[in-house]
Structure 1
């Protein structure tokens, strides 16, 4: 038996460098056409330009009376009505008024609107009541929102409720979006049990796979769950082979330096190349990135909080980038600190926290296995490597956990 010591692990990469290396190594997947009404959460593969002008004609912004711009003293005779979807067909002449509704087309010759509350009407006669004057300010001019040919949404835009409404208003029924990734999630570890209600004393429920699947679901076309896979090299290699047709393969556990951490040797036997391993972050140091052909493998730590935080900072940005997002990384915001925090060492730390009365307060339990505090966390306080202690009231960077940190 050899007494040689195993080679020392590589020094951990700075977080930002690791994120950059991962995202720079992939491009958006191929484009596909989807119905806009089914496109929520997808990202545009091309610029989306308007096919029409909005509004197509001058419209009234208020209920009242349409008048000529050169005839604002009154009184006037009401000679017709313009309602939304039912425009007045004639031309407005001096001494005439058209009853008009919000969103209705201004009649030909109309150049001002007298608000309903500023008018007195007796039969078909309308006059000023002294509360306000007719004005063109209450007209929504043709094209004030957008014009035909305008780029409404650039490539890489994520489609949400408002953007879907804009695209449809621009004359589109479909959109070209990037395909979403097919993802395999592999739970590994002899201590994991597939049935949470049927455990031996030495076992724990295999919860990481379900957690990671829930995180990934908005950004994945399909999620395939594999495992729990035992801590045997052949079993892990077989799991990788079963996920051959996926774009992204995620493992949970087995990526550290213990005797039973077999993800790295299994990847090498499967034919994957390790890109990098170990990140200067807490929790989540033993993160691994590998690839085989077009497939990307993320080896996440087994502790649930470490697995969650590394998925938040690496898996979700990866899936967003593959899905065509122009800005795949989560967005930092700043909030005042409710209580002081100590200085930080050589690793960037992510502190589970809640927001109370507009300030952010760290939760008392920060162990990387503690699921109760993770479930209560609303955000992560970012403590960059080497940061000094911070006092209550100071502003600190924060990632909101809702919506994957896309503020």
Structure 2
């Protein structure tokens, strides 16, 4: 068996970024750019008024009264200098006219017919300087950046209507087993519903990839081979079930029979021990356990990281937080145990509690939780102890990141 870290390293060393495609700028959201984006001009392109008010020269102000001699709305320019001792009424976003360096807001100026009276105001107030946001020629969004709404807005401000991004990974998903029925069927003795294909497809979507469902392969060498060959049309293939050592577990034999190479088979972890990573015709293949929880946890630790790297992401691992344990936990086994838990943010920090029974067939242990605690072999932790938690819930992750920036 290989360790979790060895398995992740082996996978990531094989994965290389996919090619890029050009998309409309707003469709670059949550994608990664493969190139630097350089500012083609200053932003703002000129000195602009930051307020509705009156523009004038603070240096030429004598006393506290100015005569208002014109009006400049946003979208227009004024090339005639404003004489010393005079002001021009100006709207937010209008360029500062020649002869002016300061704007007083309307509410801070007292109107007296054609004149305004001012209180004390600092030179340069309420003026957005040319290039104060972005300077022409600067790298604004470097290669490898994840494009969030704010990056999309900046790219639009820089004049982009389309841009290159790494292509979304297309992931073929296959479940194996004569016992499986598709959703919509009624379970009966000896038969269960195929939930793995759909939970794994959702995990692919959550990571930004495109799932391609291959259905169910019956428990025969020929059927598994046929489905694997079909899956090679996509960028990656994820198989659940059939990777263990049972009489009808044909996945490993089928991969090797088709000329593939199994890089490792079995990972030192619980749940998820019967897990294989293979390559066939240059395509990565992940053979995951058939138990629902084991399949999803294995995806989180291994497939998701590969997907993100393939799509150009620099950060491929979920974040961790240190949390106070709400209850004692222990691992009596000889393998690291990925325990499903509930993480919450409280006044004194993060807190974590387990989701109860940790059977790898109990999908509700994941439904109830949003994190994973790694318990090392023979480890024992008491209530109140701090422990690292891997966050699986994307919404919780974003909330945590926002808190960190407050």
> What TM-score, normalized to structure 1?
0.88
| Alignment of structure 1 residues 111-126 onto 2, 5 Å | 111-126=101-116
- Is the alpha carbon distance of 1:109 and 1:250 closer, same or farther for their aligned partners in structure 2, counting shifts above 3 Å? same
| Alignment of structure 1 residues 314-353 onto 2, 5 Å | 314-342=302-330, 347-353=335-341
| Alignment of structure 1 residues 17-96 onto 2, 5 Å | 17-72=6-61, 73-96=63-86
| Distance across 1 between alignment mates of 2:245 and 2:305 | 26
| Alignment of structure 1 residues 134-145 onto 2, 5 Å | 134-145=122-133
Stretch of structure 1 that moved more, 370-379 or 21-30: 370-379
> What TM-score, normalized to structure 2?
0.89
Segments of structure 1 that go 5 or more residues without pairing to the other structure are 1-10
| Distance across 1 between alignment mates of 2:382 and 2:144 | 37
**In the alignment, structure 1 residue 392 sits paired with structure 2 residue 392:** no
| Distance across 1 between alignment mates of 2:112 and 2:326 | 63
Contact kept? 2:271, 2:294, Cα under 8 Å:
yes
* Per-residue Cα deviation, 1:208-234 (whole angstroms, up to 9, x for no partner): 101111111255664321232122111
* Per-residue Cα deviation, 1:230-257 (whole angstroms, up to 9, x for no partner): 2211111111112222210000111123
- Is the alpha carbon distance of 1:82 and 1:350 closer, same or farther for their aligned partners in structure 2, counting shifts above 3 Å? farther
Equivalent residue for 2:404? Answer: none
Contact kept? 2:177, 2:242, Cα under 8 Å:
yes
Contact kept? 1:183, 1:220, Cα under 8 Å:
no
Contact kept? 2:179, 2:192, Cα under 8 Å:
yes
- Is the alpha carbon distance of 1:134 and 1:16 closer, same or farther for their aligned partners in structure 2, counting shifts above 3 Å? same
| Alignment of structure 1 residues 205-244 onto 2, 5 Å | 205-217=193-205, 222-244=210-232
Contact kept? 1:330, 1:404, Cα under 8 Å:
no
Query: How large is the Cα RMSD of the aligned pairs?
Result: 2.5
SS in 2 for 1:236: helix
SS in 1 for 2:381: coil
Q: Name which of 101, 107, 125 aligns with 2:91.
A: 101
Deviation at 1:36?
0.9
Deviation at 1:28?
0.7
Equivalent residue for 2:157? Answer: 169
- Is the alpha carbon distance of 1:356 and 1:272 closer, same or farther for their aligned partners in structure 2, counting shifts above 3 Å? same
Q: Name which of 239, 247, 260 aligns with 2:248.
A: 260
Deviation at 1:299?
0.7
- Is the alpha carbon distance of 1:360 and 1:84 closer, same or farther for their aligned partners in structure 2, counting shifts above 3 Å? farther
Stretch of structure 1 that moved more, 334-343 or 47-56: 334-343
* Per-residue Cα deviation, 1:109-146 (whole angstroms, up to 9, x for no partner): 222222333221223311124xx524424322111111
| Distance across 2 between alignment mates of 1:53 and 1:116 | 28
| Distance across 1 between alignment mates of 2:122 and 2:30 | 45
